[in-house]
């Protein structure tokens, strides 16, 4: 029996998922500490923009190279080296504070952000590629668990950062906490690297330090291209929605904090249901159809949010011309309709990315896993820059509804292009057989 087809031991799986949790915990603490440092200095808005731009630039510049390095040296070793590099950048940040205890200049924070992002380009594709080894029989369960642990780690970081901020009243406490968390990541990933050595394919050498084979894979797998397109659109929607939601709740719907929370809860519930379903019942036969339904549901959800409350008010007036629709009744009507929309979007946000990543894990050749995910991530970041800027400007000038309408129209256009080009599924004559099931 091929060792690569065997599932990893329980101890290795526990170490892998534990490393994922501490990775997300440490990264969130580090980001919170960075933005606190930016806010405490002069030009907070410019500094925050510079930090985010530096992180995106690191992904675009080193993304493909990081994936090639990970495939070349092996996934387990790549996670250890990438984790050490991330921890080293965080430790260097603490060293900056020790050398100069005064306010950290924005330029230094931008350089630190770029270096951290560059180190991440080795760690991230290797971490997600290890799902193929850790969950060889059901990659979808592995990707669902990674998403759950991402939210869990980020939530734990928020709680811990509040405690550290209250106790030490300094952003450096958060950065120190991130450094400690990455020490745990390196230790656990070293255990994963040792434990998966026997499960690796017999010949894992990358004979060419280029992307010719990876490009050939995407050309032969239209379904993989569709998975990458959906991941790019999902990333754009998530980031743009985070910017637009405050404007949407406060300006467009006129809701307070409590009412806004009532609309967020259905979205969180939808995410939980979607992750549970994807982890238990998603398989290869469902993957392509799920991607199409997810794209359609996201586009419809964005259009529905963009049409509230003005569209509902007009509809109610048309149905009952003799009844005047007041501002209060418009808000109530908007909330009632927004709740199922939030549930739908939560389902789409959870199921879509898990399905896309599981499809890539199952179909990409074993010696190209990191390069496939690195190429997908780099293209995603490159494509999302301009639409993300446009959505942010739209939210600032015209409110959240304009952003959601823009995203809905964009999603509908992407769906039409996918259907017309046939990217929703591999053509029979060119499809490469998947090496494992979802």
Q: Are residues 251 and 321 in the same domain?
A: yes
Does 284 score more than 70 pLDDT?
no
Q: Are 137 and 434 in contact (CB under 8 A)?
A: no
pLDDT, average across residues 179-208: 76
Compute CA distances 355 → 220, 237, 253, 302, 347, whole Å.
19, 17, 33, 20, 12
Please name the helix (run of DSSP H) or strand (run of DSSP E) that holds residue 314, with its range, or none: helix 310-319
Four-CA torsion 147, 151, 157, 159, nearest 10 degrees: -160
Q: Which domain covers residue 245, as residue numbers?
A: 216-421
CB atoms under 10 Å from CB of 276, counted, come to: 13
| Within a domain: 148 | yes
Token readout for 209 is 């330090």
Token readout for 263 is 């609309």
Q: Which of 39-43, 265-269, 314-318 has the lowest mean pLDDT?
A: 314-318
Q: Alpha-carbon distance 115 to 119, whole Å?
A: 6
pLDDT, average across residues 151-155: 91
Token readout for 175 is 């950065």
Q: Are residues 40 and 171 in the same domain?
A: yes
Residues above pLDDT 90, as percent of the chain: 19
| Residue where a domain stops, chosen among 198, 227, 247 | 198
**Environment class of 373 (CB within 10 Å of its CB; exposed 0-12, middle 13-18, buried 19+):** buried
| Within a domain: 360 | yes
Q: Are residues 19 and 89 in the same domain?
A: yes
pLDDT, average across residues 146-159: 92
State the CATH number of the domain containing residue 16: 1.20.1250.20
Q: Are residues 336 and 375 in the same domain?
A: yes
| Within a domain: 206 | no
pLDDT, average across residues 306-335: 53
Q: Are residues 172 and 224 in the same domain?
A: no
CB atoms under 10 Å from CB of 63, counted, come to: 26
Q: Are residues 135 and 192 in the same domain?
A: yes
Q: Are residues 234 and 169 in the same domain?
A: no
Q: Which of 54-68, 150-164, 314-328, 363-377 has the lowest mean pLDDT?
A: 314-328
Q: Are residues 184 and 319 in the same domain?
A: no
Q: Alpha-carbon distance 354 to 390, whole Å?
A: 27
Q: Are residues 137 and 230 in the same domain?
A: no
| Within a domain: 172 | yes
Q: Alpha-carbon distance 358 to 354, whole Å?
A: 6
Higher pLDDT, 305 or 22: 22
| Within a domain: 374 | yes
Q: Based on the structure, what is the number of domains in the chain? A: 2
Higher pLDDT, 122 or 221: 122
Does 409 score more than 70 pLDDT?
yes
Higher pLDDT, 79 or 53: 79
Q: Are residues 13 and 127 in the same domain?
A: yes
pLDDT, average across residues 157-186: 90
| Residue where a domain stops, chosen among 165, 198, 231 | 198
pLDDT grade for 127, boundaries at 50, 70 and 90: very high
| Within a domain: 390 | yes
In DSSP notation, 127-173 reads HHHTHHHHTSS-HHHHHHHHHHHHHHHHHHHHHHHHHHHHHH-SHHH
| Within a domain: 245 | yes
Does 228 score more than 90 pLDDT?
no
Confidence at residue 238, expressed as pLDDT on a 0 to 100 scale: 82
Does 318 score more than 50 pLDDT?
no
| Within a domain: 203 | no
Q: Are residues 108 and 240 in the same domain?
A: no
Q: Are residues 258 and 174 in the same domain?
A: no
Averaged pLDDT score across all residues of the chain: 78
96-105, 158-167, 330-339, range with greatest mean pLDDT: 158-167
Backbone φ and ψ of 162, nearest 5°: -65, -40
């Amino acid at each position: 029996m091929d060792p690569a087809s065997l599932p990893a031991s329980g101890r290795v799986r526990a170490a892998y998922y534990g490393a994922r949790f501490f990775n997300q915990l440490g990264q969130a603490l580090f980001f919170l500490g960075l933005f606190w440092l930016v806010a405490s200095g002069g030009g907070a808005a410019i500094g925050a923009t510079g930090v985010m731009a530096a992180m995106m630039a690191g992904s675009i510049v080193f993304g493909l190279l990081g994936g090639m390095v990970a495939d070349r040296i092996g996934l387990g070793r790549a996670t250890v080296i990438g984790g050490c590099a991330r921890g080293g950048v965080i430790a260097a940040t603490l060293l900056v504070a020790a050398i100069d205890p005064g306010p950290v200049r924005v330029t230094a924070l931008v350089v630190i952000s770029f270096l951290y992002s560059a180190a991440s380009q080795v760690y991230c594709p290797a971490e997600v590629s290890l799902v193929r080894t850790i969950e060889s029989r059901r990659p979808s369960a592995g990707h669902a668990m990674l998403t759950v642990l991402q939210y869990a780690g980020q939530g734990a970081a928020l709680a811990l950062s509040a405690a550290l901020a209250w106790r030490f009243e300094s952003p450096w406490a958060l950065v120190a906490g991130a450094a400690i968390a990455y020490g745990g990541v390196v230790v656990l990933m070293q255990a994963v690297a040792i434990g998966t050595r026997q499960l690796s394919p017999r010949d894992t050498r990358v004979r060419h330090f280029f992307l010719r084979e990876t490009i050939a894979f995407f050309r032969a797998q239209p379904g993989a291209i569709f998975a990458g397109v959906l991941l790019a659109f999902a990333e754009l929607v998530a980031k743009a929605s985070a910017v637009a939601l405050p404007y949407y709740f406060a300006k467009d719907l006129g809701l307070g904090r409590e009412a806004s929370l009532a609309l967020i809860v259905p979205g969180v519930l939808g995410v939980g249901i979607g992750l549970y379903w994807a982890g238990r019942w998603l398989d290869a036969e469902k993957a392509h159809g799920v991607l199409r339904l997810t794209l359609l549901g996201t586009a419809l959800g964005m259009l529905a949010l963009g049409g509230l409350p003005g569209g509902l008010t007009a509809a109610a007036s048309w149905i009952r011309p003799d009844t005047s629709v007041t501002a209060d009744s418009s808000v109530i009507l908007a909330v009632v309709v927004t709740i199922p929309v939030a549930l739908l979007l939560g389902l789409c946000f959870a199921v879509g990315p898990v399905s896309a990543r599981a499809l890539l894990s199952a179909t990409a050749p074993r010696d190209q896993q990191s390069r496939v995910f690195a190429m997908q991530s780099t293209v995603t970041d490159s494509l999302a820059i301009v639409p993300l800027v446009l959505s942010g400007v739209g939210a600032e000038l015209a409110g959240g509804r304009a952003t959601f309408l823009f995203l809905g129209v964009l999603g509908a256009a992407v769906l039409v292009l996918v259907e017309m080009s046939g990217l929703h599924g591999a053509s029979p004559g060119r499809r490469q057989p998947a090496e494992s099931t979802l």
